[in-house]
Amino acid sequence: MELDFERCYRAVDSRDQRFDGWFYTGVTSTGIYCRPSCPAMTPKRQNVRFFPSAAAAQGAGLRACRRCRPDAAPGSPQWDVRADVVGRAMRLIADGVVDRDGVPGLAARLGYTERHLHRMLHAELGAGPLALARAQRAQTARILIETTELGMAEIAFAAGFGSVRQFNDTVREVYAATPSDLRISRSGRPVAGGAGTISLRLAYRPPLHAAALLDFLALRALPGVEEVRDGTYHRGLRLPHGPGSVALTPADGHVAATLRLADLRDLAPAVARCRRLLDLDADPVAVDATLAADPVLGPAVRAEPGVRLPHAVDGFEMAVRAVTTQQISLRSARTTLSHLLAATAVADGRTGHGTDGPDGGGDRPELSAFPDPAAVAAAPEPAFRMPAARRETLRALARAVAAGDLDLEPGGDREETVRRLTALPGIGPWTAGYVAMRALGDPDAFLATDLGVRRGATALGAPDDPKTLHAYADRWRPWRSYAVIRLWRAA
């Protein structure tokens, strides 16, 4: 990746937090690397180098700044929206694929050799897949050290390190401090926390329209899986090593997250999925600048800046929702899905993981993850309160995902996934477009035939005929998915 020195230096000099995560500032005179918005004195030009990733800065022998904590910066919006191999690889690394399956597993998921994948990542990010995964392990270790009272050996393996020695060496190298030093909070006291409960802050680039996010999620919340109450979104999670749950509360400058995990090795993938769900790595200024230039969307964008595109923590869940919602209202779809959830709960072994607070107390029912593809495929006839054709579509979808023939996760190839989706009986352009937008994170999908989109277009004064609206939407590229959210909100 080519980084323009002058542009980067101006961002650092102005401490512009919009560039946090886009690049990292290395200061050779002090041996540290920072966020662009670091409040420290701006370093001299001759002492500055810019890096496209934290792993590249660490590879140059620099340690993370203790003041601005660059390891906790928002992720680059490039890897959040790009559909190429590097973007897919970054999303898979964030989801912990390298920790679980190694570089061979990552390369196999992407369909490239390990050597070629290393070349591509190094050219774009200045570091290979192992170095990128190592940087993520270091951040995971720091979170566990500072927010739990686990022993250091437990933290080492939970964060994905192969040995305690490797853990100690990495923490000292990245943070210029021992794990024991990091355990002491700023107040000088150990940070309290249960073994399976972790509280942390998820950074984002402002602005963030929190009300729009919570409204969107509340309207579509599935009882037993998710809910919004008192300004906090709660949901159950299905993670690689076991169940979990999360409570997400938008705040000024960050989203407060309380995670309860059955296995702490799932911390990194849980954080990645929550960030993705709330679209926290987006660049809202770039999105809003494009949409605000249109006379139809401009007033709404200026009135409500920072409206995000909610994605998914489970691509299969989002596909099932899309199929179920075909030609019926959201309320009817929720009722149908609630019946399916109840019918598959026993067969799927879902037990919930608690969402009432850090201790899981309270008398509210626990939330569970959405059933997996195998459970849906094996569900009995009465579980599907829908037309026979749609029932068979859901079963065909579940079988394809369970067999590995259809990849609905962020690392999937968007074009190939849409092609395979539309090859299934009962899945047309609207369903595939909805899945691409929310499950695969395509920022430029557009649902011209969607009733809510057309109603929103009418409310804002845009053409509502699908063909004319589709042509009009070209002016919203490459952010047409965000325009869909705006039109739904207007409707």
**In contact, 51 and 57? CB cutoff 8 Å:** yes
Residues 6+ apart with CB under 8 A from 349: none
398: its two tokens: 């579940």
Classified as helix, coil or strand, 24 is strand
Buried b (16+ CB within 10 A) or exposed e, 454-476: bebbeebebbbeeeebeebbeeb
- Contact (Cβ atoms closer than 8 angstroms) between residue 425 and residue 392: yes
Residues labelled catalytic: 34, 450
Tokens of 42: 């701006």
Residue 21, number of CB atoms within 10 A of its CB: 27
The CA distance from 56 to 79, in Å, is: 16
In the structure encoding, which two tokens stand for residue 43, read together?
A: 């370093």
User: For residues 186, 32, 131 and 168, what is the CA-based torsion angle, rounded to 10 degrees?
Assistant: -50
Tell me if residue 209 falls in helix, strand or coil: coil
Alpha helix stretches (DSSP H) within 293-329: 298-303, 315-324
Residue 331: exposure state from Cβ atoms within 10 A (0-12, 13-18, ≥19): exposed
